[in-house]
Structure 1
Amino acid sequence: MLAPFAKKPINLTIKGITTDEHDLSVDLLRTVTLPHLQLFGISDGLELRIKKRGAAPNGGGEVQFLCPIVKQVKTLNFVDPGKIKRIRGIAHAVRVNPQFSNRMIEASRSVLNRYIPDIYLYSDVYKGEESGKSPGYALTLLAESTTTALHCSEAISEPGVVPEDIALKATRALLSEIENGGCVDRKHQSLALLMMVLGSEDVGRCRMGEPTLKTVQFLRDIKDFFATSFKIVPADPSDPECKQLLYSCYGTGYVNANRTLA
């Protein structure tokens, strides 16, 4: 959230755990979070490179984050969620049998193939030092709509749980995200809302699902910090079954002065 407003373009190398149950994995950051930043005009030079994977608890992973700076973010007007046109996925396994990746892919496909034909799940196997210090595996899924709306999910290995069950957990979570709908998935509501507040002095609008508890608290923080309140109304008042909401606010017109010290 802070990187685009730094003094200089960021080139950051981070080491440690790359996938766990508490935060977004590096796969989601690379394939979903960065495209969400691009909606606000933050694109040229924006990249996340996975050099080593590191499963919990001992980590050993390494990623490189590159982010340009911007003077001002664009105003967002994203209200058409479109229809899901393709699903992509990454199954990775480190310090375990490489076949675990293929087993997760097959299990996930057994469900997703019922919905659309454009599905591509690939196996990402790291060996040696690049596989970190702990065994683990995970499946990350991404659904993209005709209007570039993204929905994502992931599930990571658990003691005593076979790869097929991990894959089904991720697959069902993705279908839940798609059902929740909107143009931004639940994991990225806060990011989109903050960038809308920082946008130019104009009305920004975005269609999303119902706010999570984290998002509700984030909206309170935004009101305290920026004195900005969002107008939240049903996205389709004529459809009582539609749970999607339209979030709109007036941007603060924040500008990154990017001053250099004398």
Structure 2
Amino acid sequence: MPHLVLQPKTIHATSKNLVVKIRGIAYSTRVSPASVNRLIDASRGVLKGTEVETFIYSDVARGEESGKSPGFGATIVAETKGGWPISAEGIATAGVTPEDLGTQVAAKLLHELSLGGTVGRNQVSLALVLMVLGKEDVGRISLGKGVIDAKVVRLLRYIKKFWNLEVVLREDGESEVMCTVKGSGFVSSSKKVA
């Protein structure tokens, strides 16, 4: 399999994705390992209602390998049937208990999922840029209305300015927007010259 990608594939992600599994990792450094277990239990308690297979692993660093700063945190990722990961993460601040942090991160993940669309809020910019750089074919992606914010609007303006391409947004139901754009046909400059 060649390691060089000449053009990104055209993205066609229009179906409503269902979450098939939830994975995560809870970690700590220089604090009691029990805090990670408490964090995991709190997260699982919130995610139990989804009835999706959930595994949250623990990673506890002790002694010299843990560095100088104490603390704990978690990252939880929901993988959809279409293969798109939607994630949420959190790091403890002063006075936050492991139970509070576990509940917050799990609730943040559920909020990201409730925004709708195919991709999560932190993937929208990457998906749009890959669609623009793709083959000269029309790409489509379903976005939740909740993920379209000032940052995405600014990116759409940059796309118009630099590539002279318009991204068409059309309402697709109450909570989703269908995003369509024709790729620019960009080819990697690393392509071998014959």
RMSD in angstroms over aligned alpha carbons? 2.0
The residue identity in structure 2 corresponding to 1:228 is L
From 140, 147, 161, the equivalent of 1:224 is 161
Give the equivalent residue in structure 1 for 2:181. Answer: 249
The runs of 5 or more residues in structure 1 that have no matched partner are: 1-43, 46-67, 237-241
Higher relative contact order (CA 8 A, sep 6+): 2
* Cα contact 2:16–2:118 (8 A) shared by 1: yes
Give the equivalent residue in structure 1 for 2:119. Answer: 184
> What does 1:1-262 correspond to in 2, within 5 Å?
68-210=3-145, 211-236=148-173, 242-258=174-190
* Cα contact 1:81–1:145 (8 A) shared by 2: no
* Cα contact 1:209–1:245 (8 A) shared by 2: yes
Distance between the aligned counterparts of 1:207 and 1:232, measured in 2? 9
Three-state SS of the structure 1 residue aligned to 2:49 is: coil
Q: Deviations over 1:213-258 (max 9, x none)?
A: 211211111211111110001123xxxxx21111110000000131
Distance between the aligned counterparts of 2:66 and 2:149, measured in 1? 34
Distance between the aligned counterparts of 2:11 and 2:25, measured in 1? 29
* Cα contact 2:16–2:117 (8 A) shared by 1: yes
* Cα contact 1:86–1:116 (8 A) shared by 2: no
**Identical pairs, percent:** 39
**Structure 1 residues 224 and 128, CA, compared in 2 at 3 Å: closer, same or farther?**
farther
Deviation, structure 1 residue 129: 4.5
Question: Structure 1-normalised TM-score?
Answer: 0.68
**Structure 1 residues 70 and 100, CA, compared in 2 at 3 Å: closer, same or farther?**
same
Distance between the aligned counterparts of 1:132 and 1:74, measured in 2? 42
**Structure 1 residues 117 and 223, CA, compared in 2 at 3 Å: closer, same or farther?**
closer
Give the equivalent residue in structure 2 for 1:31. Answer: none
Deviation, structure 1 residue 117: 4.4
Deviation, structure 1 residue 175: 0.7
**Structure 1 residues 77 and 99, CA, compared in 2 at 3 Å: closer, same or farther?**
same
The runs of 5 or more residues in structure 2 that have no matched partner are: none
Three-state SS of the structure 1 residue aligned to 2:78 is: strand
Three-state SS of the structure 2 residue aligned to 1:73 is: coil
Deviation, structure 1 residue 127: 3.2
Deviation, structure 1 residue 182: 1.1
Q: Which has the higher helix share?
A: 2
Distance between the aligned counterparts of 1:221 and 1:125, measured in 2? 43
Deviation, structure 1 residue 259: 6.0
* Cα contact 2:47–2:106 (8 A) shared by 1: yes
